[in-house]
Structure 1
Amino acid sequence: MPVIESTYKAPYFFRKGFVSTVYSGLFRKVSGLIQKRERITLSDGDFLDLDWSYSEGKTERLIIILHGLEGNAQRHYITGTAKLFNQNHIDAVSVNFRGCSGEDNLSYRSYHSGETEDLKQVIQHILNTTEYSEIYIKGFSLGGNVALKYLGENQHIPAQIKAGIAVSVPCFLAGSAKELHTFKNKAFHDKFKRNLKAKLLLKSKQHSDKLKDKMIVSIKTLNDFDNLYTSKAHGFKDAQDYYKQSSSLQFLPNINIPTLLINALNDSFLSAECYPVKEAKNNPKLFLEMPKHGGHVGFFQRGGFYYNEKRALEFVQQNV
């Protein structure tokens, strides 16, 4: 499918990627969404918390929403999507990855950019306990990589899954990791590192045999974190092996349901490889949209809902 020409026009002040990213992450507010939490038990005995929100009246349509690194189901980019879809007669379930719902998960492992087994279990739980006939998956950043990898690595996804949307996706993880370590992204890098180290300190209380304070203190960069924890806790040799195996870029040619990828050209987290023009042109089910502006999970638009939210709804309505 040829690359889509984006219609997104950022207001003047939001044309800088940094402004769009920071404003949308720190200052945006979404009100009026009511979420109901459900805890499910995973096959390894750990748990996931799902936050449901519903449209008025019975519907057979559902969107599954996946957050980004150190996000949760209450982030406004999640609740904005859920609220808009609810208003259009589509229920929403926002997934909190392991350890992201306000309570540390039970196992030593947690979540990462390529973790699709937990998503499979969430989908199976939904299929076993509900009667939705149309299910869409929308992921942001890390969650977008999870969504794309899931859709591309599984040739026999459930028939109820009809479309995918992925926003601000680091689909080539090694390149994005390198970008996050550059000076322009230092503020973001340091914030992610602080949050992740704080979680490790909490986890070390339950898993002192595997996590030592000396090890946590030695983490100076996100690459260190992935080398010392992410890779080892999830069965990879090191950070580079984790990036290689988990990048969704390699799975894009295999996606066989309508899928929209929106990556802004001024997203400072993304490397050149995260704009998969060749893959989109060679796959009639993959739609690539590269707005000039938008930053990382930004896409500010006046009127309450952001561009990526309205675009996701439009894409579902046009392609399902």
Structure 2
Amino acid sequence: MKEYKPNWLFKHRHIATCFPTLFRKIKVDYTERERVTTYDEDFIDIDWIKQGSDKLLILCHGLEGSSRSKYIQAHAKYFSERGWDIIAINYRGCTDVNLKPYAYHGGMTMDIKLLVEEKGKNYKKVAIGGFSLGANMVLKYLGTEKVPKNLICGFAVSPPCDFFSSNEKFKLRSNIVYSKRFLRKLKMKSEKKYETHPEWRELIDIEKIMKAKTIQDFDEAYTGRFFGFNGALDYYKKVSSIQNFRDIEVPTYILTPLDDPMMGEGCYPYEECKKNKNIKFDTPKYGGHVGFPSFKNYPYVLEENIYEFVNSVDK
């Protein structure tokens, strides 16, 4: 693995986190978009790069991201240039308003399971990777589902594997920019769903949602309610993937920089990872949250190291 050696500017955790989103110029031309019907008669949109490979990489974005998130495009580009077909998932509601009053949450695995089993079944080898919220979803999937034999490995970058710990970090004043950005997007999406589907208005407590001051407030008003949890704290307890690490049976790479501004102490599960020989846990000193920026636009060390891990399993 290459060591990340940032210059002085990128040793600042918030600059390392924000720089790629704001300034990185990268674009991938997906070959097609497919709308996939889910098990519960909703839909997700997936973006493909198809080039006749026998290997497929499935990429899962973070909270309110998409297939156009810079880190998703970078990994799609890097792996496709090395012969892999790509699926970049757009979670429910991340393209158009979806067909259910609920959308997705940080431990939702059924859509990942659908894609691995249905879209991956004709491939010799399948790998799956996630970032931030999507990283927790991937780890939850690997630790709770019986994965098919052709799924060779998984990776997770900056997973909030202990939601309690990550939630406490979001409450810090230093992280207010992130929490406000996520809240704004979540509220806009909820408001649009409320306006376009009058039949759901009795279900959606739009007043409580719009008054939310924190991510936890939103999860109390919306996420916990619509997915059958007993509020936000019950949601955090049940979706935290750290409790499922012992059951991960395929090689899995977890990468969480020590300076990640969104990860609390519980998101560094050294002991849990030591107990499972299938997990490689890497905690570099710098990198921020899904960052690892460089003035060299492409590739970043992040893509190179993720590919190195997957390629080592692929051999």
Distance across 2 between alignment mates of 1:303 and 1:29: 7
Q: What is the RMSD of the two structures over their aligned residues, measured on CA atoms?
A: 1.4
Corresponding position: 1:63 with 2:63: no
Distance across 2 between alignment mates of 1:316 and 1:53: 18
Corresponding position: 1:178 with 2:168: yes
Corresponding position: 1:153 with 2:144: yes
Equivalent position of 1:88 in the other structure: 82
1:116-172 Cα deviation digits (max 9, x unpaired): 0111112222145xx211000010000000000110112x21001001010011110
| 5+ long unaligned stretches in structure 1 | none
Counterpart of 2:8 (choices 5, 8, 12) is 12
Distance across 2 between alignment mates of 1:65 and 1:268: 23
Task: Give the residue type in structure 1 aligned to 2:229.
Answer: F
Distance across 2 between alignment mates of 1:212 and 1:144: 29
1:1-320 equivalent positions in 2, closer than 5 A: 7-55=3-51, 58-101=52-95, 103-127=96-120, 131-154=122-145, 156-205=146-195, 206=197, 207-301=200-294, 302=296, 304-320=298-314
The total of aligned residue pairs comes to 310
Q: Is the contact made by 1:21 and 1:295 (CA closer than 8 Å) also made in structure 2?
A: yes
TM-score, reference length from structure 1: 0.94
TM-score, reference length from structure 2: 0.95
Q: Is the contact made by 1:204 and 1:212 (CA closer than 8 Å) also made in structure 2?
A: no
> Identical aligned pairs, as a percentage?
36
Distance across 1 between alignment mates of 2:289 and 2:84: 26
Deviation at 1:35, TM superposition (A): 3.9
Distance across 2 between alignment mates of 1:8 and 1:318: 19
| 5+ long unaligned stretches in structure 2 | none
Distance across 2 between alignment mates of 1:198 and 1:92: 30
| Higher deviation after alignment, 280-289 or 77-86 | 280-289
Q: Secondary structure at the match of 2:193?
A: helix
Q: Is the contact made by 1:167 and 1:308 (CA closer than 8 Å) also made in structure 2?
A: no
Q: Is the contact made by 1:204 and 1:210 (CA closer than 8 Å) also made in structure 2?
A: no
Deviation at 1:216, TM superposition (A): 2.6
Distance across 1 between alignment mates of 2:6 and 2:250: 29
Distance across 2 between alignment mates of 1:30 and 1:74: 10
1:241-275 Cα deviation digits (max 9, x unpaired): 00000001111111111100000100010011111
